C-alpha cells in the first residue's frame, strides 16, 4: 500500500510545521529538501533526502523506493522583491521544477497532490479582498510562477491524471506554539520575523515600505494566518484527497487584516520594546491590501482556526526568535 507522503521543501518554515503535524499523527513522511533555505533539524524524526526537486532521476527514485502515495509540494522561492529582480530564478525553481515533479508523479501513478500556492496570484484586486473566484492577475514573477503551477495542476486534473488541493496562503506568521520549530531563515523579509529580530536587538531598525497607501494608516494591510493553523489545513486537505474528494482551490487566511503599523505595535506591546521604524518608499509588486475570504476552507474541509489572535502570533514568533543565535542581521 502506497501510504508514504513526500513533502518537498519540508525542512523549510511552513513545510516543517506540516511535517511535524503529520509525524505526530503517525504518518510515514519522507522530506525532499536541498537545504538551501531549510534546516536538517527542522524535519524531526522524518526521513530526509537531501536533493533538488529539479533532479528528475532522484525524484523518480524517491517515488519508487518509498512507495509514495501523496505529495505535498512546498519547495519554492518566495521573496517577492527578489522575484522582481531575478524573475528567471523564480520561473526555474517554482514553475519548471514543479513541472518536473508533476511528471514524476504521473510516471509513478501518484495521483494525490497538495500544492503550496499564494495570494500573490490575485495581484491588485479592486477591493483588496479576494475569494477563490476573484480574477487572478499577479503583479510579480513570484505570483506568476505559482499561478503557472496551478494551471499545470488543473490541466492534469482535467486529463484525469491528478486529484489536487491548491492552498493559496495569505501572510503566514508565528511559530510552533510549543517552541520546537520556527522561522529560522537568515536575512528574512517577512515583516513579523524582522520586527521580532529588531525587538531582540538582532537588527538596528525595521523599515516600513510604503506609508501612502489608501488604507486607514497609510501602510499595507495583510491577512496574517498562524503557521500552525495553516499546517492543520494541509492535514485536512490530505484527508479530503484520501477520501477521493474532488480537486479544490482554497484560500488560507482568517478573513481580516492588520496593517504594517498594527503588526509593529503588537510586537512592541508583546516584547515591551520600542522599535526604531524607518519609513521607505513602496516596493514594486506590493498591493495596498490583501485579505482572504476563506469561508470555503472552513466549509469544505471543516477547518477551524485555533490561533486567530495577533498577540498570540507575535508571542510564538518572539519565543522562537529568542532561541536563535543573537548575531546581528543586516537591515
Which residues participate in catalysis according to the annotation?
142
- Mean pLDDT of the 108-120 span: 97
Instruction: Note the pLDDT of residue 329.
Output: 38
Structure confidence by residue, pLDDT tens digits, 89-100:
999 999 999 999
Which helix or strand (DSSP H or E) is residue 195 part of? Answer: helix 191-199
pLDDT of 127-175, one tens digit each? 899 999 999 999 999 999 999 999 999 999 999 999 999 999 999 999 9
pLDDT (0 to 100) of residue 126: 77
Mean pLDDT of 94-114: 97
Tell me, what's the pLDDT at 312?
A: 98
Q: Check: CB of residue 289 under 8 Å from CB of residue 216.
A: no
Residue 1 predicted with pLDDT over 60: no
| Total-model pTM | 0.95
Instruction: Report angle CA 197, 183, 169 to the nearest 5 degrees.
Output: 115
Find all residues with CB under 8 Å of 330, minimum gap 6, and list them: 187, 203
Write down the mean pLDDT value for the chain. Answer: 95
> Is the per-residue pLDDT at 327 higher than 70?
no
pLDDT over 80 (residue 181): yes
Kindly calculate the radius of gyration of the chain based on its CA atoms and give it in whole angstroms. Answer: 19
| Model pLDDT, residue 23 | 97
pLDDT grade, residue 188 (50/70/90)?
A: confident
* Chain segment 315-325, per-residue pLDDT in tens: 999 999 999 98
* Nearest one of 310, 264, 137, 282 to 214, comparing CA atoms: 282
- The Cα–Cα gap between 191 and 197 comes to 10
Q: In what helix (H) or strand (E) does residue 156 lie, and over which residues does it extend?
A: helix 141-158
Cα(227)–Cα(71) distance, integer angstroms:
19
C-alpha 222: how far from chain center:
14
pLDDT surpasses 70 at 222: yes
pLDDT at 206 over 90: yes
Q: Indicate the CATH number for domain 4-171+225-252.
A: 3.40.50.720
DSSP string, 232-288: HHHHHHHHHHHTTPPPEEEEES-S--EEHHHHHHHHHHHH-----EEEEPPPTT--S
> Is the pLDDT score of 331 beyond 60?
no
Model confidence pLDDT, tens digit, residues 283-304: 876 889 999 999 999 999 999 9
Task: Name the DSSP letter for residue 116.
Answer: E
What pLDDT is attached to residue 326?
64
Q: Please say if the pLDDT value at position 330 is more than 50.
A: no
Amino acid at each position: 500500500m502506497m501510504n508514504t507522503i513526500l513533502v518537498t521543501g519540508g525542512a523549510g518554515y511552513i513545510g516543517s510545521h506540516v511535517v511535524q503535524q503529520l509525524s505526530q499523527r503517525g504518518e510515514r513522511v519522507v522530506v525532499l529538501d536541498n537545504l538551501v533555505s531549510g534546516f536538517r533539524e527542522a524535519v524531526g524524526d522524518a526521513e530526509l533526502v537531501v536533493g533538488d526537486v529539479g533532479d528528475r532521476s532522484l525524484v523518480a527514485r524517491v517515488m519508487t523506493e518509498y512507495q509514495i502515495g501523496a505529495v505535498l509540494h512546498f519547495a519554492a522561492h518566495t521573496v517577492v522583491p527578489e522575484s522582481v529582480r531575478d524573475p528567471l530564478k523564480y520561473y526555474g525553481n517554482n514553475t519548471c521544477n514543479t513541472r518536473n515533479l508533476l511528471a514524476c508523479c504521473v510516471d509513478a501513478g501518484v495521483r494525490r497532490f497538495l500544492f503550496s500556492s499564494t495570494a500573490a496570484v490575485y495581484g491588485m484586486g479592486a477591493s483588496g479582498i479576494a475569494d477563490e473566484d476573484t480574477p487572478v492577475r499577479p503583479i510579480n514573477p513570484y505570483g506568476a510562477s505559482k499561478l503557472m503551477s496551478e494551471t499545470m495542476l488543473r490541466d492534469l486534473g482535467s486529463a484525469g491524471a491528478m486529484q489536487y488541493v491548491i492552498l493559496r496562503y495569505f501572510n503566514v506568521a508565528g511559530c510552533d506554539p510549543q517552541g520546537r520549530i520556527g522561522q529560522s531563515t537568515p536575512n528574512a523579509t517577512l515583516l513579523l520575523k524582522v520586527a521580532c529580530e529588531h525587538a531582540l536587538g538582532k537588527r538596528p531598525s525595521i523599515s516600513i515600505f510604503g506609508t501612502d497607501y489608501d488604507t486607514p494608516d497609510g501602510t499595507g494591510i495583510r491577512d496574517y494566518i498562524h503557521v500552525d493553523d495553516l499546517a492543520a489545513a494541509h492535514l485536512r486537505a490530505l484527508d479530503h484527497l484520501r477520501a477521493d474528494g474532488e480537486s479544490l482551490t482554497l484560500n488560507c487566511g482568517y478573513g481580516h487584516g492588520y496593517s504594517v503599523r498594527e503588526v509593529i505595535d503588537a510586537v512592541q506591546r508583546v516584547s515591551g520594546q520600542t522599535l526604531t521604524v524607518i519609513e521607505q518608499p513602496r516596493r514594486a509588486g506590493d498591493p495596498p491590501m490583501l485579505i482572504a475570504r476563506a469561508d470555503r476552507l472552513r466549509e469544505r474541509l471543516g477547518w477551524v482556526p485555533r490561533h486567530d489572535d495577533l498577540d498570540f502570533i507575535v508571542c510564538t514568533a518572539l519565543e522562537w526568535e529568542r532561541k536563535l543565535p543573537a548575531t546581528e542581521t543586516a537591515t
